Amino acid sequence: MPAITPPTAMAKKHCCADCFGDPGLARSIIPKVIADGTGRPRQGDCGYCGSSNITTIDPSALSQWFEMVVDCYVADDEGKSLAALLAEDWRLFDHPAMDEAHAKELLAEILNDGEIVRRPFAPIDLLLNETPQRWDDLRDEMMHRNRWFLDEPIDLDRLAELLEQLIAPADALTEITDLWHRSRLLADDDPFPLEDMGAPPAHLAGHGRANPAGIRYLYLGSTAKTAVSEVRPHTGEKACVASFRVPAIFAVDLRDPRKSASPFILENAEQIAALRSGLPLLERLGEELTKPVQPRSAAFEYIPSQYLCEFIKKRGYQGVMYRSSVSEGVNLALFFPELACPVESKVVLVDRVTVDIAGDQ
């Protein structure tokens, strides 16, 4: 690795990975640029987002990757700035300091073009079959007309390609939390034995958000509060919460596909445009796992998300991460419960349950 030089008073402004918030840039592209020295790496404060004591690089070193992404957009008088489109489509420039003005400034340096960032653009429109509407039609068929033999099944090859862009990094789980949690409501003050806090046995496994009845998955929350919230407790009830250590697994991250997917690690503009066109579908699939479902209709409302998770498992993944609908935490559906190692359990009191309502207050 080349030596990292300190900044000088007259040096050109450098940027850092924090400016972009993109996993591909942060984990692959920028480390490569730092390692080979093409970005003239320096240690200090970022000239754009203001992150301190961080390795920064010359923005122009990222030009080849950004040019490939920009090729997915065309000039359009009714469009938006490239900075706005990249932020909207890929959650780029998500640092609090990176407003559109700062994003335009940085993008102009990367592309060595101060005019292009002022012109309006629109994304190339690809006419692809697999859309959120196609998924909605499919889920309606699975729930209410056909279950096992569908009239028009979704293009599973295309879906597999899209899911490959959402593979969670090996350290993703430990970056979220060291310990994951499962909760069970108690009828009295006696806690469940730790060995009974894992996934239920197959003959007791009911319909779950990710698992069909009779198939064991282990549902875990990133915090104890998330785990307790997921069992829908009442104020004053007690719950037994067990913590688990989960190793690095091969998982799909459906929490925020636009944030998880990176256009910069793809090979060409055609692949990037195809991924961008598939992002609305991936977002819809993430919503499928997150949206609240009434217990009385769970047996059929869960079928689409069960179908999705069965396909994810069939592709060789070991679990799926998704947002919690009842807390700010993260949920993990572990397809192979034996991968989780129980650590300890405790009894907690549900002090308060809050309710939000839609419509008139």
pLDDT at 10: 46
Tokens found for residue 272: 């990037």
Q: Which residue has the tokens 């592309």?
A: 111
Cβ atoms 101, 137 nearer than 8 A: no
Q: How buried is residue 101: exposed, middle or buried, by Cβ count under 10 Å (0-12/13-18/19+)? A: exposed
Amino acid, single-letter form, for residue 194: L
**DSSP output for 177-195:** -S-EEEEEE-SSSPPPPGG
Most distant pair of Cα atoms in the chain: their distance: 71
State yes or no: pLDDT of 359 exceeds 80.
no
pLDDT at 189: 85
Name which of 262, 90, 249 is nearest 169 in CA terms.
Answer: 249
235 vs 120, 210, 238, 355, 357, CA distance in Å? 53, 27, 9, 11, 18
- Other C-beta atoms closer than 10 Å to the C-beta of 132 total 14
pLDDT at 183: 97
Q: How far apart are CA 42 and CA 121, in angstroms?
A: 33
- Specify the 3-state DSSP secondary structure of 72: coil
pLDDT tens-digit map of 192-233: 999 999 999 999 999 999 999 999 999 999 999 999 999 999
pLDDT at 294: 82
What number is the average pLDDT over the span 247-261?
Answer: 95
CA atoms within 13 A on the CB side of 10: 0
Q: So where are the chain's domains?
A: 17-123, 134-349
Please report which confidence band the pLDDT of residue 11 belongs to, taking 50, 70 and 90 as the band edges: low
pLDDT at 9: 43
Contacts with 227 (C-beta within 8 Å, 6 or more apart), sequence order:
181, 182, 183, 220, 221, 241
pLDDT tens-digit map of 36-50: 999 999 999 999 999
260 vs 37, 128, 211, 222, 304, CA distance in Å? 27, 21, 24, 18, 22
Please report which confidence band the pLDDT of residue 72 belongs to, taking 50, 70 and 90 as the band edges: very high
Please report which confidence band the pLDDT of residue 108 belongs to, taking 50, 70 and 90 as the band edges: very high
Share of the chain above pLDDT 90, in %: 81
pLDDT at 128: 66
Please report which confidence band the pLDDT of residue 185 belongs to, taking 50, 70 and 90 as the band edges: very high
pLDDT tens-digit map of 281-302: 999 999 999 988 887 888 889 9
State yes or no: pLDDT of 273 exceeds 60.
yes
